[in-house]
Amino acid sequence: MTELKLKDEYIKLGQALKAAGLVSSGVDAKMVIQDGLVLVDGEVETRRGKKLYDGAVIEYDGNQVKVVGSL
């Protein structure tokens, strides 16, 4: 599992997928999220703007990324 460090209080799901390198563009993020291919904390998430806070785990295409707060 890789980690994605937050720069702010939260990051939106579409931005997180892009920042973690799981998709190459915002359009790709939108498509995979709308298609129900992304899990957040083990549940399918279809909202690109879903806010992710410290401790959230994203799963896509066999990859897991944990959102880690900045200190």
**Would you say how long the chain is, in residues?**
71
pLDDT digit string, tens, across residues 19-66: 999 999 999 999 999 999 999 999 999 999 999 999 999 999 999 999
Helices (H) and strands (E) in the chain, counts: 2, 7
Average per-residue pLDDT for the chain: 95
Q: What pLDDT does 69 receive?
A: 87
CATH number of the domain located at residue range(s) 2-68 in this protein: 3.10.290.10
How does residue 71 score in pLDDT terms, banded at 50, 70 and 90? low
pLDDT digit string, tens, across residues 4-23: 999 999 999 999 999 999 99
Q: Where are the domains of the chain?
A: 2-68
